[in-house]
Amino acid sequence: MQLDLDFIRSQFPIFQTELGQKIGFFDNAGGSFPAIQVVNRLTDFYKNYKIQPYGPNALGTKAGEAMDLGYHTMAKLLNVSINEMTIGASATQNLNTLAIACNSIVVKGSEVIVTEQDHEANIGGWERLCRQQNAILKIWKVQTNTGELVLENLEKLLTPQTKILCITHSSNIIGTINPINKIADLIRPMGIRLVVDGVSFAPHEFPNLDELKCDAYVFSTYKTYGTHQGIMVVRPDFLEELEPQCHFFNESILHKRLDTAGPNHASIAALAGIGDYFEAAYNHHFPNKELPLHEKTRKISCLMNAHENKICSYLLKNIQNLPLKFFGKKTMEGREANISIKADNVSSKSIMKGLAADNIVSKQGHFYAYRLMQAMKVTNLNDGILRLSFSHYNSMEEVERCVDGLKKLII
Ligand SMILES: Cc1ncc(COP(=O)(O)O)c(C=O)c1O
């Protein structure tokens, strides 16, 4: 079965606009377009009951119900209890809060391992925690020629003092999907907690937390067709060890424990639209309507991923012979569709501008994976690499235009 792209694109308001029809958008890793279901729920909230939720009046009740639906839908999508889930402002904020909350686990002499491949969001907070606690931050380094993490190198870093390992599910630069469960099998018998940054992975395959053996998993909904929120799932036995970061009188409400902000009511309510979107896409493609939401989501997500991989393979095949350095695996095997390149003779900025003139959106820079860039010897971090990040709503025609543009510009 193939993804019905006409149906998929009909679910995104952007493709109904003149500009949206002209533009081939390949900066999805910076934030995806929102689905119509999300936009509808957000505008419904703002138009009809945007007041403090849960007040004992007709408007407050409606606002509260809408927000509850946002929480519950996200929990259903992930097949987790609402008690395990924090909805914060962003992944950066959630990871930072999580690090602060680990201050009784990470004490003087403890060790925390972060990777050189990660976005700074999953490094900086841990570095600050270690500094404050007189603990030791260890860096799992990448192979400089490939940017890949090698499991044997992790084994050398592990000691009885290691308390937490933080790693990205897939790299926002080289696209490699890391073997989370293999890592878990190695470290969890030693009592080491595993914190996974799924921000780059989740837009390509909605995370299946039933299969992932991690203690905490984080991603952002503005990259998964929703509003600008960060979702963090922390398993109950880990949550219990953490110092609550909420108001003292909210500590018994588990989904508030690690929420350091007042919730964005309308934005959380609109998250229910992500569930509506996956459900509509599933129902359009599959006959069995009886499945729970997380199973529907996994099935349709696989179909979306297959489409993305097919169109991204075309790009991979057709740019290999251009004069450029290519970062990451050269086929779609073991990676997701974030493609990073650096031309030998043309700056990333001018390629980005050249593509934009042909209505192809790409992005250049270091993408906050600063340490990975340094490790891979990208010298001018201001110019950085050029990244083309795909979503399932991209079409083959857009990819062909992108390839034509690259061939014209990279000489
Ligand atoms: C891999 C990765 N982790 C974390 C983040 C930060 O996410 P947020 O913008 O929700 O803080 C990003 C953002 O691009 C990312 O790509």
Q: Which of 193, 189, 199, 190 lies closest to 214 in space, CA to CA?
A: 193
Mean pLDDT along residues 297-316: 98
Q: pLDDT-based confidence at 139, cuts 50/70/90?
A: very high
Residue 121 Cα to ligand 1 middle (Å): 6
How far is 136 from 113, CA to CA, in rounded Å? 9
Q: pLDDT-based confidence at 379, cuts 50/70/90?
A: confident
List strands edge to edge, sheet with 216-220.
Answer: 85-88, 230-234, 216-220, 193-197, 162-168, 111-115, 136-140
Residue 264 Cα to ligand 1 middle (Å): 19
Residue 91 Cα to ligand 1 middle (Å): 6
Our answer on whether the CB atom of 121 is closer than 6 Å to any ligand 1 atom is: yes
pLDDT exceeds cutoff 90 at 279: yes
Q: Can you list the positions of beta strands (E) in 188-316?
A: 193-197, 216-220, 230-234
Residue 128 Cα to ligand 1 middle (Å): 18
How far is 352 from 22, CA to CA, in rounded Å? 17
- Give the nearest ligand 1 atom to 220 CA: 10
Give SS3 for 163.
Answer: strand
Q: How far is CA 269 from CA 43, 72, 139, 227, 253, in A?
A: 10, 10, 39, 9, 19
- Give the nearest ligand 1 atom to 118 CA: 1
Domain ranges of the chain: 5-35+293-409, 42-274
Our answer on whether the CB atom of 174 is closer than 6 Å to any ligand 1 atom is: no
Residue 52 Cα to ligand 1 middle (Å): 29
Residue 221 Cα to ligand 1 middle (Å): 10
pLDDT tens digits for 194-209? 999 999 999 999 999 9
pLDDT tens digits for 55-107? 999 999 999 999 999 999 999 999 999 999 999 999 999 999 999 999 999 99
Mean pLDDT along residues 217-228: 98
Distance of CA 85 to the CA centre of its chain: 16
Quickly count: other Cβ atoms within 10 Å of residue 8's Cβ. Answer: 25
The pTM of the full predicted model, rounded to 2 decimals, is 0.97
> Which overall architecture, per CATH, does domain 42-274 show?
3-Layer(aba) Sandwich (3.40)
Our answer on whether the CB atom of 366 is closer than 6 Å to any ligand 1 atom is: no
Q: What is the pLDDT of residue 261?
A: 86
Is residue 278 within 8 Å of residue 292, measured between CB atoms?
no
Give SS3 for 230.
Answer: strand
Q: pLDDT-based confidence at 191, cuts 50/70/90?
A: very high
Fold of 5-35+293-409: Aspartate Aminotransferase, domain 1 (3.90.1150)
How far is 64 from 51, CA to CA, in rounded Å? 9
pLDDT tens digits for 20-47? 999 999 999 999 999 999 999 999 999 9
Report angle CA 322, 323, 328 to the nearest 5 degrees: 80
Mean pLDDT along residues 213-235: 98
- Give the nearest ligand 1 atom to 168 CA: 1
